């Protein structure tokens, strides 16, 4: 699959290198490709070039940069946008969205792509390795297009996650609240980054 990663930071570079290892064709879209280490083996191009050459576009930028990043990506009609962002307040004390709304829906209002909310509910070290003693960490996702969600679940599975469909995109606020729980446990309750949510079934 041709995948553009917009934002080559903690989340973007972890997801991108994981998929590249699985044989996907990954291009990082960055603001200044010339500044990037020339030794890298993965494509590093402009945001527009990466997005336009790909079928799946991963949004992995800080929340205040979302609008600019999507504008820089150009027309994304017919593509899938995986929204990994969290609309966090700068001090990480909570979400910066009005009650009843979500970052995922805001992202969808800014693009004509099919948006799937995913990869926002856990820390990036779990994206590098979601295996806990043979059990796979759960990766919740939500969106309105069944084909986009099928492809998304496959990509999460490639990284080793147990993908779980959490319903339509209007449920994105639930995933963003779950992200707040993960962040609170990790940073304020002393659990660190080596834990993950897992849904048990019987
Ligand atoms: N960190 C986590 O564990 C984690 C987990 C789940 C979700 N998230 C969410 O994922 C997003 C990224 O988090 P992160 O920790 O990966 O952040 P990060 O390490 O700070 O990386 C952000 C990246 O976005 C790029 N960027 C900033 N503004 C941009 C723009 N206008 N256009 C294109 N690229 C731009 C930055 O590139 P420059 O070098 O050009 O500044 C940087 O590479 C955030 O929304 C965060 O809430 C984070």
User: Which tokens hold the place of 161?
Assistant: 């996650």
Q: Is the pLDDT of residue 149 over 60?
A: yes
202 CA distance to ligand 1 middle (Å): 37
Least confident of 5-19, 31-45, 119-133, 150-164: 31-45
CATH number at residue 136: 3.40.50.720
201 CA distance to ligand 1 middle (Å): 33
Q: What is the pLDDT of residue 95?
A: 97
Residue 61 Cα: closest atom of ligand 1: 24
* Per-residue pLDDT tens over the stretch 89-109: 999 999 999 988 999 999 999
| pTM exceeds 0.95 | yes
Whether residue 110 lies inside any domain: the answer is yes
Cα–Cα distance, 114 to 116 (Å, whole number):
7
Radius of gyration over alpha carbons of the chain, in Å? 16
Question: Do 40 and 62 contact (CB within 8 A), yes or no?
Answer: no
Q: What is the pLDDT of residue 41?
A: 64
- The band of 34, judged by pLDDT with boundaries at 50, 70 and 90, is confident
Selection from 34, 32, 25, 35 nearest residue 5 by Cα:
25
CB of 65 shorter than 6 A to ligand 1? yes
Number of domains in the chain: 1
Q: Is 188 helix (H, G, I), strand (E, B) or coil?
A: helix
Q: Average pLDDT over the chain, rounded to whole?
A: 96
* Per-residue pLDDT tens over the stretch 35-92: 766 555 689 999 999 999 999 999 999 999 999 999 999 999 999 999 999 999 999 9
Whether residue 141 lies inside any domain: the answer is yes
Domain hosting 50: range is: 2-188
Whether residue 198 lies inside any domain: the answer is no
pLDDT mean over 14-42 = 88
Element (H, E) at 165: strand 162-165
* Per-residue pLDDT tens over the stretch 183-202: 999 999 999 999 999 999 99
126 CA distance to ligand 1 middle (Å): 16
Residues 6+ apart with CB under 8 A from 12: 5, 6, 28, 58, 60, 61
Q: Is 123 helix (H, G, I), strand (E, B) or coil?
A: coil
Least confident of 37-41, 142-146, 151-155: 37-41
Whether residue 202 lies inside any domain: the answer is no
Q: Is 76 helix (H, G, I), strand (E, B) or coil?
A: coil
Whether residue 194 lies inside any domain: the answer is no
| Residues of the chain by 3-state class (helix, strand, coil), percent to 5 | 40, 20, 40
Cα–Cα distance, 188 to 138 (Å, whole number):
22
User: Which tokens hold the place of 57?
Assistant: 């576009």
């Amino acid at each position: 699959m041709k995948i553009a990663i917009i934002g080559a930071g903690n989340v973007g570079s972890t997801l991108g290198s994981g998929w590249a290892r699985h044989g996907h064709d990954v291009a990082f879209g960055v603001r200044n490709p010339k500044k990037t280490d020339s030794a890298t083996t993965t494509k590093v191009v402009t945001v527009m070039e990466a997005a336009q050459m790909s079928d799946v576009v991963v949004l992995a930028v800080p929340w205040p940069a979302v609008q600019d990043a999507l504008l820089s990506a150009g027309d994304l009609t017919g593509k899938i946008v995986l929204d990994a962002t969290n609309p966090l307040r700068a001090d990480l004390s909570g979400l910066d969205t009005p009650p009843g709304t979500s970052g995922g829906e805001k992202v969808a209002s800014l693009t004509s792509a099919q948006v799937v909310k995913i990869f926002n509910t856990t820390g990036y070290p779990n994206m590098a390795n979601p295996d806990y003693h043979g059990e796979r960490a759960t990766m919740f996702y939500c969106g309105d297009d069944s084909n986009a969600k099928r492809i998304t679940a496959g990509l999460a599975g490639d990284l080793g996650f147990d993908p779980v469909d959490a319903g339509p995109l209007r449920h994105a606020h639930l995933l963003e609240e779950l992200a707040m729980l993960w962040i609170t446990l990790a940073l304020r309750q002393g659990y660190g980054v080596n834990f993950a949510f897992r849904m048990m079934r019987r």
